[in-house]
Structure 1
Amino acid sequence: MKKERLTAWSQINSSEVERPRGWAARSVLELGATRSAHGRQLSCRAHHPSYPSPYYRDSYTMLDVTFVPEVSIVGADASSLASLEEGSSALTLECRADGNPSPYVWWTRDGQVIATNGAKLIRAPITRNDSGIYGCQARNSLGTSDSVKIEVDVKFPPRVTWVGPDTVVEANLFSEVTLECKAEGNPSPSYQWYHNPNLSSMSGHLDDGYPISSTPQLLLHNVSYTQHGRYTCIATNHIGLEERSHQSEAVTLNVLGPPVGADTSAAHAWSGAEGRVQASVCADPPPRRAAWLWGSLRLDVPSHIGRYKTLEPTNINGCYRYTLLITYEYEYVGRTCLCATR
């Protein structure tokens, strides 16, 4: 280490009273007491021809500068703090205090003193409850340091905590319905609603439905039979580069009202072949009775008269498809209609 030569403020040489031929030298050095000077070694060198070669002697002393503590936090780099995830990450911080006399160190979270392993703060594994503003301070007999603070923000994947208003919701035809989804997560999750009109499908996969909204509340105006079925909420967030998601339980919407339809289709057949006429009616509860009307002929469902046969309806997404089978003896073009009552 390179030595620095200091200049004395004053030096006095005086003879001793009892020994006039003896001389006493007194050198005074003044230094500012700074934090950086603590622990430095000073040497005073006296030169005299009576000393053995090289004709000087050194005397040493150590500077002991007292000062109020200063603190810093070790282990709080931005990259490690940004990637803290509940259950899989650990946090180790150290409150490093520089003070003389030796200081006492403590930690706080959101302004409250917390128990730690001395100057070290260890959370392994870390949980969402460990999030907060952490500060460290130190104190000695001269005073207390300023508080150094950092924010710990623990990430965790989303979880749907509530969906409703119930698992089964009944609404009248042409009314208004509001479904709501609530989820927790950090970062705050986004929402996606899916609609699966097929009540018979219970697999719960997203492929069974299609997205209809990206808001926590799903507002359905002027409800129709096509909107009956299962509604599922998906909450999603991103932790680092990974997408995390959680799917809610399904809410079943039953639309209640009178039969609406009938939607018919054209049918063609040749002599000796079988013609198939179909019509769809939407209703909830299902129609109790249905009949095909053709001129003066009425054929209830299901029944069979001559070359006319009606089949049991098929449930398709809350609507009911009725089928009339006609065996043609000659080419025929005509009109039929379906009457359904609940």
Structure 2
Amino acid sequence: MKLFIAASSATAALAQFDSSSANTMVTVDVVGLHDYIEAGTSTNLTCSWTLPVDADAEFNADDFQLFWKLDISENNHKSLLSWRAGDKDPMKYKTNYANGLIFDPNFEELDPTQRQSASLFIPDVPIAYDGLTYSCEVHWGGTYGEENVDLTVYQNAEVVELAKITDTLEGRDELIGNETVAAPESYDVAECTVRSVYPEPATVTFLLNGVEHAVDASDVNPNADGTFDASATLTLAPEGQFDGAGVSCISVAAPTAVTIQNDESYTFPVEVFYYTDEVSIEVNGAATAISDEDYYVIEGNSYQVTCNANGNPAPLVTIRKSDGTTISDSDDIVAVRNDKVELTCEASNDSPANETYTLGQAVSDYASIDVYYIDSPVAGADDQATYDTEYTKTCSASGNPSPKIQWTRAGTSTVISERDLVLGKVTYSDEAEYTCTATNTAGSQSDSFDLSVDGPCVVRTEEPVSGTSGEGEHASLSIKCVVDGPRENACKITWSGPIGLEDVFSTSKQLEKPDGSVLSFTNLVKLNEPTEFTCTASNSYGVRSATAQVDEENEPACCQPNRQASLGTGAIVGIVIAIPAILIILGAAVFFCRKQQQDKDDTCVEEGDDAADAEKQPLQASEPDGEGGDAGDDAV
């Protein structure tokens, strides 16, 4: 857009302009409906404007004027029409110009503050209008705005002619006698002529299988109506990319760079004889590509090999394995373990016996096919581990590629180990079925085994549970002994307690399963002092025990009705029986010692004293190897 300020020599209609009102300027824009106009068609040029913001308050019909002007030549403008807002007969402003064509503004008597555009209609645009500049001027008071638009006119070819020169291109060298004659580097294939096109074409466009190939115009002649005739020749090298291509010609009107018309007046195919220069192996079926040359197939699946090669005449194709044997495209090959196949595809042009063209060089491609497989892993037979020791189990599996080994436990999918199953301090809770799974690209295989645990009994007692069976001196008591042990080497459970309470063990029992034992007393004599009960479990590994203490201070009131220190009936009877027995033993010991050598007297007396002391201690079970005492202390 160009914005002009009227000078002091402006016409009387513009004399009211004041430089102090320079901010009240008119903005003008002109656009055509088409960037390019085809000759013989009609178009509209639209002029739009923006008046100052205070135009409504100051509007006067005489203050607004619109002019369309045409730039005929440099510095030579012709006014086509003018229009004033107050005019009531816009028809009188129709202007005859350029061979009698009529330019009709199609204006209506409207307030220009309400209407912001007006169009100039140009019918039947001739080629002569190409390059003309149209201007729109809008005047408002002492200012005016102006904008230009250029017309670009084109005409597509009315006739497209294609003439075949040759449809055979020989790209092979010919053997004449003892001499080899090289093939031509290129051939003139076709000539295309376009007629009555505008503007003057610089190129003529051929189509090869639908792909445009622009060729410089070699013969351009003007016509009386301003259009041009032009022709060009398509030249092709004898290359495989053009073999079988369909040749045609179209008209593209410059400078649109767009195909306006696609008149295919004639199409013919081209045959090119050329040497094989591309070959490729394609492996199909159950084969999977690793790279451009490497494939793999799962054992037992089948695949096919295809060798693709260009060239005309069709080349001889040979597919060879690394051992020299050949295979054909139609063969179904079954993948066999350890049979990695290296393939070579070789292709070269053949020549009929009646032709004298030289054979091309053989072209090759390569492929490698590996066979993937996986065998079932070997976890081994059912096994046994020893309690509180480390256990390791190895799982072996073969496959290609090398499989990944994982161990899981029955009932869970959590991986507990890789390759080797390693259990640190084995416990009886480790008894389970374990599965070894081998996985690679070929699939997954599994094997399982049962693990049992053997070893000593593990004993612990829980807090005694007391309850009243009735008021008085009797109460009930329940003590639970929990034993963990091997399934096959069952733990036998027994109870022991203080002297004088042997009668309460009539309920003791031996369990063949290590699920614990409960010692229950009913009609129990009151316990008025701390009392220990010992649970003993034994198997072939030895004896383990644990002690539960019934503490008078911690027992419920029902079980401690009297805190006086007194012996129960059973205890009194036990003491009465034990004192005579001790006296008899001591007398026998003295008599025996007198008959022995003098130097042994002291020893014998000490042994008798030890025996007497043992009778005075409460009855307790112990472990020969010394481990049971520790276990019992830990449990309590």
TM-score between the two structures when normalised by the length of structure 1: 0.57
Question: Which secondary structure does the structure 2 equivalent of 1:163 belong to?
Answer: coil
Instruction: State yes or no: 1:337 paired with 2:549.
Output: no
Instruction: State yes or no: 1:323 paired with 2:517.
Output: yes
Residue type at the aligned position of 1:266: E
2:345 maps to 136
Residue type at the aligned position of 1:161: P
Per the TM alignment, residue 264 of structure 1 is displaced from its structure 2 partner at its CA by 1.6
2:239 maps to 36
Tell me if structure 1 keeps the 8 A contact 2:283–2:306: yes
Mapped partners of 2:531, 2:327: distance in 1:
89
- Greater strand percent: which structure? 1
1:147 maps to 364
498, 501, 508: which one pairs with 1:295? Answer: 498
Tell me if structure 2 keeps the 8 A contact 1:95–1:120: no
Q: 1:298 to 1:189 in 2, by over 3 A?
A: farther
Residue type at the aligned position of 1:339: T
1:168 maps to 382
Pick 1 or 2: higher relative contact order, CA cutoff 8 A, min separation 6: 1
Question: Which secondary structure does the structure 2 equivalent of 1:226 belong to?
Answer: helix
1:58 maps to none
Per the TM alignment, residue 248 of structure 1 is displaced from its structure 2 partner at its CA by 0.9
Residue type at the aligned position of 2:482: A
Mapped partners of 1:86, 1:190: distance in 2:
17
Q: 1:288 to 1:177 in 2, by over 3 A?
A: closer
Residue type at the aligned position of 2:303: L
Mapped partners of 1:309, 1:212: distance in 2:
46
1:282 maps to 485
1:270 maps to 467
Q: 1:147 to 1:290 in 2, by over 3 A?
A: same
Mapped partners of 1:298, 1:91: distance in 2:
86
Q: 1:149 to 1:85 in 2, by over 3 A?
A: closer
324, 335, 340: which one pairs with 1:113? Answer: 324
1:223 maps to 426
- Greater helix percent: which structure? 2
Q: 1:38 to 1:263 in 2, by over 3 A?
A: closer
Tell me if structure 2 keeps the 8 A contact 1:279–1:322: yes
1:91 maps to 303
Residue type at the aligned position of 2:497: W
Tell me if structure 1 keeps the 8 A contact 2:494–2:509: no
Per the TM alignment, residue 103 of structure 1 is displaced from its structure 2 partner at its CA by 4.6
Q: Deviations over 1:48-71 (max 9, x none)?
A: xxxxxxxxxxxxxx9866x46742
247, 251, 258: which one pairs with 2:446? Answer: 247
Q: Deviations over 1:26-66 (max 9, x none)?
A: xxx971498737998xxxxxxxxxxxxxxxxxxxxx9866x
Question: Where in structure 2 are there 5+ consecutive unaligned residues?
Answer: 1-161, 168-181, 187-236, 244-270, 351-358, 470-475, 541-636
Tell me if structure 2 keeps the 8 A contact 1:231–1:253: yes
- Indicate the percent of aligned positions where both proteins have the same amino acid: 21
Residue type at the aligned position of 2:521: T
Mapped partners of 1:102, 1:212: distance in 2:
58
Aligned residues: 267
Tell me if structure 2 keeps the 8 A contact 1:192–1:234: yes
Tell me if structure 2 keeps the 8 A contact 1:76–1:150: no
Per the TM alignment, residue 230 of structure 1 is displaced from its structure 2 partner at its CA by 2.7
1:122 maps to 332
Per the TM alignment, residue 187 of structure 1 is displaced from its structure 2 partner at its CA by 6.5
Q: Deviations over 1:126-156 (max 9, x none)?
A: 6666764433123568476343123445666
Tell me if structure 2 keeps the 8 A contact 1:84–1:154: yes
Per the TM alignment, residue 215 of structure 1 is displaced from its structure 2 partner at its CA by 0.7
Question: Where in structure 1 are there 5+ consecutive unaligned residues?
Answer: 7-28, 41-61, 196-205, 300-304
2:155 maps to none
Residue type at the aligned position of 1:134: L
Question: Which secondary structure does the structure 1 equivalent of 2:332 belong to?
Answer: strand
Computing the radius of gyration over CA atoms, which structure comes out larger, 1 or 2?
A: 2
Residue type at the aligned position of 1:147: S
Q: Deviations over 1:275-328 (max 9, x none)?
A: 3522214357625644212224898xxxxx65642344363xxxx133133132
Mapped partners of 2:347, 2:510: distance in 1:
84
Tell me if structure 1 keeps the 8 A contact 2:299–2:372: no
Tell me if structure 2 keeps the 8 A contact 1:291–1:298: no
Mapped partners of 1:39, 1:210: distance in 2:
61
